[in-house]
Amino acid sequence: MSSHHPPANSTTRFSNRVENYVRYRPTYPEGVLQILRDETGLKPDKVIADIGSGTGISAELFLRNGNTVFCVEPNASMRQAAEGLLKSFPKFRSVDATAEVTTLGDHSVDYVVAAQAFHWFDVPKSRAEFARILRPDGWIVLMWNTRRLDSTPFLRDYESLLQKYGTDYCEAGHRNVDLGVVRTLFAGGKLIERRLVNEQRLNFEGLQGRLLSSSYVPTEGQPNFNPMLDELQCLFQRYAVAEHICIEYDTEIYLGRVGA
């Protein structure tokens, strides 16, 4: 069974990237909701804890569905961004807490959702916390928008750029969490896996913002920042069609209940 150790400074490393994160991270397909309706009986009256909710990208999907969503996020800058973006939804709740200590009540939620976040958690501690806050028939939903690495020439070269300039790219990426680690959350219980196609079409400003939203690339003032952006500009000029490039993703969804 694979081990998993969250990277250092996991609750603060996105603080200087919030604006780009809000504007340029991919959303989740509407098909996620249909999968949850079909597989788990999701209805608008269900209560959701979105753990590591960040700027609210995944929470908005459920708020639009009519759900009450407790957005549990320890990073102040990201949490404040979500509060601004989601304030018009009456069932939005913002919670300053972590996956390991959510501060939510015992058996108070129907779903625990972690979108683009589970790889930051301490798995044994968060698993115990999820078991505490979930109702007996509750579900855990893990989701990632996983960028395809080599389905197009652009994506192959973009991956090479990240390997070249990323500060701790290999350590921080969610690909470090393999299925063995995911299964520890469900303790050998039934695990449902689903996958949807997702994509972003971006102009150069959007591509640059998407790059800079990643916690593992240099920030302005660091030595490799300008060379990295120069190389990104060259990639865009080489591959853009009608002044846009396409980033392809697989939206990976894992559904299950907390095992015994």
Give the pLDDT score at 171: 62
Give the pLDDT score at 20: 87
Q: Give the range of the structural domain holding residue 81, as residue numbers without chain letter.
A: 15-147+171-199+249-256
Q: Helix 179-186 vs helix 123-133: angle between axes, to the nearest 10 degrees?
A: 40
Between 188 and 10, residue with greater pLDDT: 188
Within a domain: residue 139?
yes
Residues 6+ apart with CB under 8 A from 202: 24, 210, 244, 245, 246, 247
Within a domain: residue 27?
yes
Within a domain: residue 102?
yes
Q: How far apart are CA 141 and CA 69, in angstroms?
A: 14
The DSSP bridge partners found for residue 256 are 140, 191
Within a domain: residue 53?
yes
Does pLDDT of 10 surpass 70?
A: no
Q: Are strands 109-115 and 134-147 parallel, antiparallel or unpaired?
A: parallel
Q: What is the mean pLDDT of residues 161-180?
A: 74
Note the pLDDT tens digit of each residue in 61-100: 999 999 999 999 999 999 999 999 999 999 999 999 999 9
Note the pLDDT tens digit of each residue in 100-118: 999 999 999 999 999 999 9
For the beta carbon of residue 144, count every other beta carbon within 10 angstroms. 21
Note the pLDDT tens digit of each residue in 36-55: 999 999 999 999 999 999 99
Q: What is the mean pLDDT of the chain?
A: 90
Q: 181 falls in which pLDDT band (50, 70, 90)?
A: confident
Give the pLDDT score at 9: 47
Does pLDDT of 141 surpass 70?
A: yes
Give the pLDDT score at 186: 84
Q: Specify the CATH number for the domain of residue 124.
A: 3.40.50.150
Does pLDDT of 170 surpass 90?
A: no
Within a domain: residue 72?
yes
Q: 17 falls in which pLDDT band (50, 70, 90)?
A: low
Within a domain: residue 223?
no
Q: 120 falls in which pLDDT band (50, 70, 90)?
A: confident
Q: How far apart are CA 28 and CA 57, in angstroms?
A: 8
Give the pLDDT score at 81: 94
Give the pLDDT score at 12: 41
Within a domain: residue 161?
no
Count of domains for the chain: 1
Q: 134 falls in which pLDDT band (50, 70, 90)?
A: very high
For the beta carbon of residue 260, count every other beta carbon within 10 angstroms. 7
Give the pLDDT score at 13: 44
Residues 6+ apart with CB under 8 A from 5: none
Is residue 252 within 8 A of residue 146, CB to CB? The reply is yes
Q: Is the dihedral of CA 1, 182, 134, 25 positive or negative?
A: positive
Within a domain: residue 204?
no
